[in-house]
Amino acid sequence: MQNVLLVTVDSLRADRVTDRVMPETAAFEDGTVSFTDAVANGPSTPASFPAIHASRHFASIEGLGIPESGGGIVTLAEQLSEAGYDTAGFTDNHFASGDYHFGRGFDTLHDASGSTEAGRLKQFVQSNLDKEGSLFRTIESVYTRVDGLLSTATGNESEYERAASLNRRAIEWIDDRDGPWFVWLHYMDVHHPYEAPDAYQEAFLDTTRSVSECRALSRKATHHPSEMTDEEWTVLTGLYDAECAYTDAQFRTLLDSLSDMGVREETVTLFTADHGELLGEHGKGGHPPEFWEGTIRVPFVLEGTGNTGEHDGQIRLLDTAPTLTDAVEVDAPPEWQGESALELDDGEGREVAFGDVGRDVDYGRCYVRRADGWKLLRHADNGEHLFDVHETPAERVEDDRLGEELAEESDLGAALDRHSEEMAAMRSGARAVGEESEMVEDHLEALGYK
């Protein structure tokens, strides 16, 4: 049996896999099959990882994560473990950790989030800041300096465990295997606050920024985007690209290590992301609960199947698990909502993709995207939008076709209503971590979702 390697990069936009920013990953696409119209089923880690690991829409589960057991859910790790694979995961994101039951099916799950005293202290500081109103404005600058000093004092010059460290853990684990294995790596480096090592910053910026400066600018873009200047957006974009370049180099190191061990040719490797990122588009930074192309378009590159070339049909993160099991000839369980992307002929795509977040506002935040490029977004208080993203991918105000009495508007609206009803019916049988819990609140704060 072939091994399986799943590499997910937090917050990586599809348009960064280029020779300019991520040349090693772009070169990786040679000899692979690259799906150029892959979309996330949510704009954040909590919304995307049920789709990646369990081929389930986020809105089909009550709460965050997946149920501790059962719940009509089968994970990719469980399915491969049942087929005889050793399984291991390596992550540093609370919402993709064992706290939310993503350890199901893994023999080993390394979760670096909050695992050190410094990490716990920083999480406590972040979780107890009130980011609304004058109090946050008063203490924000002090917090930024303290946060930077904590990192420097502890020797942790990044918010999360670096990709290089996760690589070492994974390679060490793989080296001890005798039979087929499944490894999942989740790199956090591209997630804000974009604090790449100086060598990578120098490729995209005239002047490197300190950890404190990176974090201050990232928080401003995320929490006060209307106050960002054009120059600050330019710097932020350079910092983001520097993190992408760092991650690119680490992904190449991982592939080279597998080659040196003589196992790369025996491995099916998928490189993708849980969602994208906004860098000033629509006046936003980070990944707010909105479904612009910058937030939902992700890379999806698959090596080791014998298939090559670009595939321009729409696929979804929901198709991740079925695609990988298909690639290694393991049956997909009937519980999965996605389908194998390998079943598609060139030019074909999944007719519709849905994304969900914010179930407590009666589906005020969700989207549907059709394979022909028509897309309906529901952004709660910010209203609905209708775009043909193949024709107008920037989704500017003047591109919005809502209200023109087009058939696409009524068709997509009806499809989204049916999807919402179906998800509501499924939630009663699948309960995960309650969204009102103190742990969830802390993790939302720590990752900048609140």
Q: What CATH number is associated with residue 271?
A: 3.40.720.10
User: Which residue in 243, 289, 327, 230 sits closest to 6, CA to CA?
Assistant: 327
pLDDT of 450 reads 63
Q: Which domain holds residue 128?
A: 3-446
3-state secondary structure of 311: strand
User: Which residue in 367, 370, 373, 372 sits closest to 385, CA to CA?
Assistant: 367
pLDDT of 180 reads 98
pLDDT of 124 reads 46
Residue 276 contacts residue 40 (beta carbons within 8 Å): yes
d(CA 5, CA 24): 17
Q: Indicate the burial class of 334 (C-beta count within 10 angstroms; 0-12, 13-18, 19 or more).
A: exposed
pTM of the model: 0.89
Phi and psi, residue 124, nearest 5°: -60, -45
pLDDT of 120 reads 45
Beta strand 108-111 pairing with 181-187 = unpaired
Mind listing the pLDDT tens digit of every residue in the chain (450 residues)?
999 999 999 999 999 999 999 999 999 988 899 999 999 999 999 999 999 999 999 999 988 899 999 889 999 999 999 999 999 999 999 889 999 999 999 999 999 875 544 444 444 444 454 545 555 445 444 444 445 444 444 345 678 999 999 999 999 999 999 999 999 999 999 999 999 999 999 999 999 999 999 999 999 999 999 999 999 999 999 999 999 999 999 999 999 999 999 999 999 999 999 999 999 999 999 999 999 999 999 999 999 999 889 999 999 999 999 999 999 999 999 999 999 999 988 778 999 999 998 655 456 799 999 999 999 999 988 899 999 999 999 999 999 999 999 999 999 999 999 998 899 888 877 777 777 666 776 776 766 666
Residue 28 contacts residue 304 (beta carbons within 8 Å): no
Phi and psi, residue 254, nearest 5°: -60, -45
d(CA 270, CA 324): 8
Residue 344 contacts residue 311 (beta carbons within 8 Å): yes
H helix or E strand, kind and range, residue 110 = strand 108-111
Residue 163 contacts residue 194 (beta carbons within 8 Å): no
User: Which residue in 7, 10, 1 sits closest to 275, CA to CA?
Assistant: 10
Spatial CB neighbours of 234, under 8 Å, sequence gap ≥ 6 = none
User: Which residue in 323, 348, 333 sits closest to 32, CA to CA?
Assistant: 323
3-state secondary structure of 364: coil
| CB crowding 212-226: b at 16 or more within 10 Å, else e | bbbbbbbbbbbbebe
pLDDT of 434 reads 75
Q: Give the total number of structural domains in the chain.
A: 1
CA triple 197-200-204, angle to 5 deg: 130
CB atoms within 10 A of CB 202: 13
